[in-house]
Amino acid sequence: MISKKMAEKLNDQLNKEFFSAYLYLSISASCSSQGFNGASNWFFIQYQEENAHALKLFRYLDDQNVDLDLRTISAPELEGLSFIGAFEASLNHEQKMTRHLNELSDFSFQEKDHATYNFLQWYVTEQVEEEATLNHIIDQIRIVGNDGYGLLTIDKELGTRTFIDPTL
């Protein structure tokens, strides 16, 4: 059984996951408007992944008979994002999500809520991949600098990403 405090924290995380999806959809639109269609695709796939993360948590809460608390999602502030800025903003966001998930995992352990602790380890592990991927992309962009051909090559590579539901 999930305690009331644990349920509140999990509902907070659920809404953070939905915000993440909304953030990536917004960045996808920003990249598209700048002509970076590959990056737009990459962020659209990221939106789909984050939505899957949210739905995984949604199902867990529902299975645990927790009252779901879906909240209003605020619009992300993304004005003037450059190509590299989109990925740096994403990395910053993922680092915040990592901190939230680590705190949530710590709390579930303190609560001796072993089912939730085990459930959250999937998210903790997923965050390692999220940050590593973004760091790799940022490194590539820094290597090419402002070279147009280099940026277009990276953008083209980003466009090859396809959605595979990570929660399956």
pLDDT in tens, 44-65: 999 999 999 999 999 999 999 9
pLDDT at 161 over 90: yes
Q: Given pLDDT bands bounded at 50, 70 and 90, which one contains residue 166?
A: confident
Would you say residue 3 has pLDDT above 90? yes
pLDDT > 70 fraction of the chain, expressed in percent and rounded: 100
Using left for φ > 0, alpha for ψ between -120 and 50, and beta otherwise, residue 65 falls in left
Position 21 scores a pLDDT of: 98
CB atoms within 10 A of CB 83: 18
For the chain, the structural domain boundaries read 4-158
Task: Average the pLDDT over 108-113 and give the result.
Answer: 98
pTM: 0.95
Structure tokens at 88: 């740096």
Question: What CATH number does the domain located at 4-158 have?
Answer: 1.20.1260.10
Query: For 79-100, how does the pLDDT look when each residue is reduced to its tens digit (9 = 90+)?
Result: 889 999 999 999 999 999 999 9
Burial class (CB within 10 angstroms; exposed 0-12, middle 13-18, buried 19+) of 150 = middle
